[in-house]
Structure 1
Amino acid sequence: MSTLHPHSLHNMIAQDSAAIGELKSLLLRERELLEQRDHSELPAIIERKDQLLETLGLNAKQRASLLKAAGFKASPEQWEIFLGQNAATRDLLESWRTLMAEFAQCKSLNEINGKMIGRSKQTLGQLLNLLRGQVAAPQLYTSAGSTTSSASSHCIAEA
């Protein structure tokens, strides 16, 4: 604990909490924009998310080196143990747990947004194929139970 004082640890957690809170707001705004198919603000949101993730990454590296110096493995669980072993840092445990819960929410929001982006890309690809006159053959089941997408699957009869 000699490399950082409890006040510094509190500031680090507070900085991470502020970054996570802003990241959560950005992810919610990003979802709104994706739902509305309004991409005008997305570049600014992506840039700010990158900045926040960089800040969070730097603090995570700092925590990891602090943990290693104290003989712990670098993980959120070990950080909790580290904070709990010293009376001066025990009051940070609740803030740390709240931070981890908010981080999990951000991860979930990001996964949802990623799925929305994936679906939008798929739909856009299908629309572009239609405009190009390239219609993908549907996936149909054969008598053996496997799928086929060949154009011959559209045949009703063969001569």
Structure 2
Amino acid sequence: MHDTTLLQMMTDDMVPARRLLELLQAESVVLHGRDMLEMEHVLAQKHALVILLEQHGRKRSQVLSSIGLPANREGLRLLAHQSDVGDQLLAAGDELSALIAECQSLNEQNGSLIQLQQVNTAHQLRILNGGDTPTLYDARGSTAGRAKPRPLSQA
């Protein structure tokens, strides 16, 4: 009974995991376009799916723990060896794990893109505020004094 329950839980989680992968791909496109309204929409959906998948992951771990098996791939393998649906159970576990790993990888890429954009934005603001003025030479060949920071309205 635990094996079929676990198989059904993993099969059910394939849909939100695929949807999360789609949202992460959409997030990447939105980040490149810097569409903040769309980003808010994507982030809200992404957050809900992550919470759902975390809750379901805990439930799957509890099922394995309740029958005295470790809550990992080895526990799943041990259960599969005792089950009529063992092959399906392992295949579903591997597929779900691959989807989650792909989501994590894409999420890390999106995080790196966000950090890069933050650095670029901070650099642009320093330029606009006059805090990142290069040292220039005047007509006599000596370095000109640093410009005073100016208000953003005068940049």
List alignment gaps of at least 5 residues for structure 2: 135-141, 144-155
| 8 Å contact from structure 1 (residues 84, 93) kept in 2 | no
In the alignment, which residue of structure 2 is the partner of 1:35? 32
Which structure has greater helix proportion? Answer: 2
SS at match of 1:135: coil
In the alignment, which residue of structure 1 is the partner of 2:15? 18
1:54 and 2:47 correspond: no
Q: TM-score, normalised by structure 2?
A: 0.77
| 8 Å contact from structure 2 (residues 23, 42) kept in 1 | yes
In the alignment, which residue of structure 1 is the partner of 2:67? 70
In the alignment, which residue of structure 2 is the partner of 1:108? 105
Aligned residues: 136
- Compared CA separation, residues 129 and 27, structure 1 to 2 (3 A): same
List alignment gaps of at least 5 residues for structure 1: 138-154
- Compared CA separation, residues 5 and 68, structure 1 to 2 (3 A): closer
The separation in 2 between residues aligned to 1:131 and 1:84, in whole angstroms, is 65
1:122 and 2:88 correspond: no
What is the CA-CA distance between 1:82 and the residue it aligns to? 2.5
Identical counterparts, % of pairs: 27
Tell me which amino acid in the other structure corresponds to 2:57.
A
How large is the RMSD of aligned CA atoms in angstroms? 2.2
| 8 Å contact from structure 1 (residues 17, 99) kept in 2 | yes
What is the CA-CA distance between 1:126 and the residue it aligns to? 0.8
| 8 Å contact from structure 2 (residues 14, 96) kept in 1 | yes
Runs of 4+ in structure 1 off by over 6 angstroms are: none
